[in-house]
Structure 1
Amino acid sequence: MSYYSPQGGLPPQTALLTDRAVVKQAYTFIPKRVLRDIVTSNLPGFENTRSWIIARPIAGSATTFAQLIVEIAPGGGAETPEPESGVEGVVFVTAGALTVTLEGERHVLEAGGYAFLAPDAEWSLANEGDEPTSFHWIRKAYERVEGVPVPTSFVTRDQDVEPSAMPDTDGAWATTRFVDPDDLAHDMHVNIATFRPGGSIPFAETHVMEHGLYVLQGKAVYRLNDDWVECEAGDYMLLRAFCPQACYAGGPEPFRYLLYKDVNRQIRLT
Structure 2
Amino acid sequence: MTQQRKGKRNLLTQLVRLTIILGVAVAAFVVWGSVKAGWWSQLATLILEHPEYTITAEDLQLPEVPSWLRRDIRLDIWERMKERGLKSTLQPGVAQQIFTIVAEHPWVSEVHSVRLSFPRSVVIDLEYRRPVCLVAGTAFAVDAQGVALPASDLQDANLPLYLLFGIEASSAVMPGRRWPDGRVIEAGQLAEFLGTTPFEKGFVFIVSRVTYRPLEPDDIVFTLQNREGKEIFWGRVPGREVQGEPPASLKRDRLLALLEKHSQIPQYSRVDLTSSANSSRM
TM range, smaller chain: under 0.3
Greater strand content:
1
Which structure is higher in helix share?
A: 2
The structure with more radius of gyration? 2
TM-score, scaled relative to structure 2:
0.25
Comparing both chains, which one has the higher relative contact order based on Cα–Cα distances under 8 Å and sequence gaps of 6 or more? 1
The alignment's TM-score, normalised by the length of structure 1, stands at 0.26
